[in-house]
Chains A and B, each alone.
Chain A
Amino acid sequence: MTQPAASAHEDAPTSTAKAAADKEGSGVRRPLAGWGDVRTLSLLGVLAVLVAVGGITAPDEFLKTSNLQLILTQASVIGVVTVGMTFVITSGGIDLSVGAMVALASVWATTVATQDFGFAGILFTAVVVGVGCGLVNGLLIAYGRMVPFIATLAMLASARGLALQITGGTTQIVTVGSVLDLGARDSYVLGIPPLVLIFAAVTVIGWLLLNRTTFGRRTVAVGGNAEAARLAGIDVRRQRLYLYLLSGLCCGIAAFMLIVLAGSGQNTNGNLYELDAIAAAIIGGTLLSGGRGTIVGSVLGVLVFTTITNIFALNNLETAVQQIAKGAIIVAAVLVQRRSPHGDA
């Protein structure tokens, strides 16, 4: 035959020997785990750069303790929402109603009738309203087989509507002293505002739930391949229900935090939280298509966004510019994600 029997007599060249060795030693490298760390590190890097920028452009104000406390407090409310959102997105779903749930929970918990029951009444109502909305979302999606996007879009509209109905557009001032005290400087623990402590607790619990429990494992499995999860004996529908409940719960907690922070309840609360939470989760490394989620990434995402907002405010820049910067960061983060070894494997 005319074909040359290419290098038939030679030993395998080193490149293939290496390939073979590589296959053998497959256990040694875990590129994706490493990549996760790289991503976390790069977000930390971005945060460090932002702090430097803040320190340079507003040297007198940015690094003051009170400003740092402010940044963290602002991050806390949206941060708690983002933790819930991270679970939902990891499972391959989406929750567009988080902002509306925060609004509804915050106004329901600050009606005159509720405030009669004091601190406990406000906290309890906020949480129950959040969980209740989450329950409706979950039932519609898991058992009514509605697409998450549509079901939560409907919830967005109706919860906001109901919130407006309750307040009639007025701001409901909180008169319960113990609630307001929680936001006061006196109740800081070692300089840390209580709201930040709540955020930290939610983060730690969320991390443990996602990474150390069967609940978290099932969430990832449902997002990665729902049919495979079902065949593995997981009750996929119940898992979905729980996930939207969880998101609702987080919104209830966030609503309470917002009441403490603002000293009032308004139907405009939580405006566009859904976008901020989704964006923070995505730049943190959670896959919008599901199957991979990271709480640490989400929290870093929230901190990056909040810090940017703060720096722009300190430098008296317009919100328009700020929005553009946010958009650019989202694009950059997603581009970096696309480079992940998983993407081109």
Chain B
Amino acid sequence: MAPLPPLLTMSGITKSFPGVRALDGVDLDVQAGEVHCLLGQNGAGKSTLIKVLAGAHQPDGGEITWQGEPVTLGSPIAAMRLGIATIYQELDLIEGLSVAENVFLGHEPTSAGFVVHGSAARTATAELLKRLGHSEIDPARLVGELSAAQQQIVSMARALSHDVRLIVMDEPSAALDPEEVDNLFRIVGDLTGEGVAVIYISHRLEEIRRIGDRVTVLKEGRSVADGLPAKSTPTHEVVALMTGRNVEYVFPERPKAGFAEGREPVLRVEGLTRRREFAPVDLELRPGEIVGLAGLVGSGRSEILETVYGARKPDGGRVLVDGTPLRPGSVRAAVRAGIGLAPEERKAQGLLMLESVSSNVSISTLSRFARAGWLDRRTERAAAHQAVRELSLRPDNPDAAISTLSGGNQQKAVLARWLLRGCKVLLLDEPTRGVDIGARAELYTVIRRLADEGLAVLLVSSEVPEVLGLADRVLVLREGTVVHTADARELDEHRVLDLVMEGSPTS
């Protein structure tokens, strides 16, 4: 092989935010046509690094060369001109604009320099979407009306609308179901075949094995290994590099089967249904049980959770806590009865982005810290601190603004809220989305411990191994209908995937 100069090299990149050194000397080199994976724990600096590369953050120090030439990436436009396109971790689309308008935002096809050519943009967008295998998305539709997975596709179309040499994807698979991940990988394959380089960030090691060529590992803002072969480096080695210790990727031990049989159900769902979303569901949850809902994105899992929680009004059926029916469609009633929900879209539904970690955690428990309406800020803060510490949230500072936390740590803050509240029934919607391997194991342990203490947990996750490993009992959903219920120990991943996709009738 001729020693081609790398497409991109970044060396000694540093970047500080007030109080945090996010990048502390990172080296990265990327070859044309390769899939280069970035691994690291939550808060390791992955997103910060790619924002530097995208021109969205200015580094404090270090050098970037592009095809052998030193460059400065002073603005997002400068990076785009070189052919660097970025799909950010937090989707960065504008909901009030249409698909085509988002795709061509900032580089609209125009006549006379400023008159937008709407139809040209729509045609080009339709072609990009077709190339991505999603021609069912109408370019004229508003982005706010699309599902998370569809929005992901739009982000991708936007990246491809530029003349790209390098595409950066920050946890693109987090919101996708297995089928769509396959589709994503097919696109990545096509791109690298054309000589485009891809930087791929994910917490799922099995994905990196499937499509990665080389791996760079970040730990606390430093690259601790670069250019490792993605397929052959043993998992324990990668994990040890990331975490600095040996983490076993195992699930906490379950109590023996049928342990909860004799207990009175704490949550009973009877014939709960919402037209066009899910068919009548029956469900019983006993103290100490973890019940998983498996299914594809869009199969109605989140909708069921939100309806149980009262955030959506059911068209039929009822929810009972300790035998008492709840007022339908009332979140207050559900919360007062002891139900908690950690929602899927943490930014839109879960977090007060302008507030500190501690006020985000204590928001559902405020009355406990108040006397005659006056907040005792010190105990509030201390309690919140305790809750986030149990989840080893980083930075270990309850006063940090939630918006400055890395994605996975924001997720932990949402969980900490319900930890603090100490409810009877906890509804978890994708609790580990974007959470790194080490912290995942911790989360699983915490969830199981809470269950052992008598909490009932209803868990939704797109990651089948997670549902199977953590839950006692699993309900498989397909297109809004429960197609199978079984003890988690009687199922395996293949079986669940079969049920979820084909929904082949079961005996």
Partners in one complex: yes
> Interface size for chain A: under 10, 10 to 19, 20 to 34, or 35 or more residues?
35 or more
| A19 and B95 contacting across the interface, CB-CB below 8 Å | no
List the A residue with the shortest CB-CB distance to B143.
Answer: A224
| A6 and B480 contacting across the interface, CB-CB below 8 Å | no
Q: Contact partner of A24 among B94, B116, B136, B487, CB < 8 A? A: B136
Number of B interface residues in the complex (CB < 8 A): 62
- Identify which of residues 463-503 in chain B touch chain A, using a CB-to-CB cut-off of 8 Å: 473, 475, 478-487, 503
| Contact A229 B95, CB 8 Å, known A6-B280, A7-B279 | no
Q: Contact partner of B110 among A2, A5, A214, A292, CB < 8 A? A: A214
Q: How far is the CB of B218 from chain A (nearest CB, A)?
A: 21
Q: CA of A292 to CA of B95 in the docked complex: distance in angstroms?
A: 10
Q: CA of A8 to CA of B475 in the docked complex: distance in angstroms?
A: 11
The listed residue with most A CB atoms (<10 A of its CB), out of B96, B137, B277, B284, is B96
Q: CA of A227 to CA of B57 in the docked complex: distance in angstroms?
A: 12
| A6 and B281 contacting across the interface, CB-CB below 8 Å | yes
| B283 and A30 contacting across the interface, CB-CB below 8 Å | no
A interface, by DSSP: helix, strand, loop or mixed? helix
Q: At the interface, yes or no: A168 with Cβ under 8 Å from chain B?
A: no
For B101, the chain A residues whose CB sits under 8 A away are: 217
| B96 and A220 contacting across the interface, CB-CB below 8 Å | yes
Q: CA of A208 to CA of B276 in the docked complex: distance in angstroms?
A: 39
Q: At the interface, yes or no: A37 with Cβ under 8 Å from chain B?
A: no
Q: At the interface, yes or no: A177 with Cβ under 8 Å from chain B?
A: no
> Contact string, A1-18, partner B, CB cutoff 8 A, digits 1/0?
111111111101101111
Q: How far is the CB of A52 from chain B (nearest CB, A)?
A: 35
Q: At the interface, yes or no: A116 with Cβ under 8 Å from chain B?
A: no
The listed residue with most A CB atoms (<10 A of its CB), out of B116, B277, B283, is B116
Q: At the interface, yes or no: B400 with Cβ under 8 Å from chain A?
A: no
Q: At the interface, yes or no: B141 with Cβ under 8 Å from chain A?
A: yes
| B92 and A4 contacting across the interface, CB-CB below 8 Å | no
| B505 and A3 contacting across the interface, CB-CB below 8 Å | no
Q: How far is the CB of A148 from chain B (nearest CB, A)?
A: 17
List the B residue with the shortest CB-CB distance to A19.
Answer: B276
Q: At the interface, yes or no: B142 with Cβ under 8 Å from chain A?
A: yes
Q: At the interface, yes or no: A291 with Cβ under 8 Å from chain B?
A: yes
What would be 17 A-B contacts, judged by CB atoms less than 8 Å apart? Answer: A3-B282, A5-B482, A6-B481, A12-B479, A18-B276, A19-B480, A27-B136, A30-B140, A32-B145, A213-B115, A217-B108, A220-B96, A221-B105, A228-B94, A231-B76, A233-B77, A345-B144
Q: Given A12-B480, A22-B276, list of 4 further CB < 8 A pairs?
A: A2-B261, A8-B506, A214-B114, A225-B95
Write the residues of chain B forming the contact surface with A, with a CB cutoff of 8 angstroms: 54, 56, 75-77, 80, 86, 88, 92-97, 101, 105-108, 110, 114-116, 118, 136-138, 140-142, 144-146, 158, 261, 275-284, 298, 300, 473, 475, 478-487, 503, 505-506
Enumerate the 9 nearest inter-chain pairs by beta-carbon distance, A residue then B residue, closest first: A27-B138, A224-B94, A16-B480, A228-B92, A233-B106, A232-B106, A233-B77, A291-B96, A19-B276
